[in-house]
Amino acid sequence: MKTVKGPAIFLAQFAGDKPPFNDIISICEWAASLGYKGVQIPTWESGLIELEKVAESKTFADEYRGKIEETGVQITELSTHLQGQLVAVHPAYDIMFDGFAPSEVHGKPKERQKWAENQLKMAAKASENLGLTAHASFSGSLLWHTVYPWPQRPAGLVEDGFAELARLWKPILDTFDECGVDVCYELHPGEDLHDGITYEMFLEATGSHPRARILYDPSHFVLQQLDYLAFIDIYKDYIKSFHVKDAEFNPTGRAGVYGGFQRWADRPGRFRSLGDGQVDFVSIFTKLSQYDIDCWAVLEWECFIKHPEQGAREGAEIIRDLIIEVTDKAFDDFAGAGSDKELNKKILGI
């Protein structure tokens, strides 16, 4: 069995324009001071990474990684959540998602998609140059607007949608394969890949691509009312990345899973700072250890009440306490009688 690595922290929710959050070294020093051992880096934050330089130069990548490791943390994964979202965008969302891309491709869906594809391919090479084996991203969505359809979906719509999604992702996945890096899709409402079934459909559409893998985040499953522990049993061979994020679901007589268009504070399903929600992380860490899932435990902080810096302070300690140092011996070894074939035959009566 393998011990889950950590604690680590996703820097996306903390990056900003004021110290210590506006520079990769200072934010890593801050993370290390809280007890974190790893950082997941959002590649759209230019103050934290020069993606193109890391992708193009192994020397630059080595220097970048070295400076980070001198602060006391190491890079767990790079993230392209925003760019991954732009690999596949339904026209209904064009205006809202333009903000994830440079201004020169706003209002130009085809150019924006090519920009996103290039970003992912650079992230693959950057990950290879940094010695990483996993990468975090979103799938994007062509079908989400039909998730609860009225009128009913035409026959073949879902199959055609996943075929197109796979077509868009296949060259990206091939690049990641050449670089020896897994693309770990965060299964998330709003994405075409949002639960186990949709992941399976995408995997089939890609021809079971060996680099199409899962970022496991139980918070999104709480909000969908999916069994997040059984999910690990089913998909243990595909989980290569892990966000430690808490959530709660408290349905009322007025609103349920869809939230009634309410602000986060008023929704039945809400993300919470680690330790304040309903997720059974003791069982999650037990299963991850039991199944030898080799991953980092990366805090993703999101909460509508608690200050992020308090959440980060508390999160490091909580994750550290949750990590199971796996044993290399059985608890009842002391009572073992050794190995003796003849003795076994006598016990069996043969």
Q: What is the pLDDT of residues 304-324, one digit of tens each?
A: 999 999 999 999 999 999 999
pTM: 0.95
Say yes or no to pLDDT of 57 above 70: yes
- Cα separation, 42 vs 102, in Å, equals 16
- Cα separation, 53 vs 59, in Å, equals 10
The amino acid at 75: I
pLDDT band at 343; cut points 50, 70, 90? confident
CB 89 within 8 A of CB 141: yes
What are the structural domains of the chain?
5-348 (3.20.20.150)
Q: Which two tokens stand for residue 279?
A: 């997720």
Q: What is the pLDDT of residues 106-164, one digit of tens each?
A: 999 999 999 999 999 999 999 999 999 999 999 999 999 999 999 999 999 999 999 99
pLDDT at 1: 81
pLDDT at 330: 64
pLDDT band at 327; cut points 50, 70, 90? confident
pLDDT at 333: 66
Overall size of the chain counted in residues: 350
Which residues are within 8 A (CB) of 90 and not within 5 positions of it... i.e. 6 or more apart? 141, 142, 143, 144, 145
CB 93 within 8 A of CB 101: no
Average pLDDT rounded to a whole number, residues 27-54: 98
The amino acid at 22: N
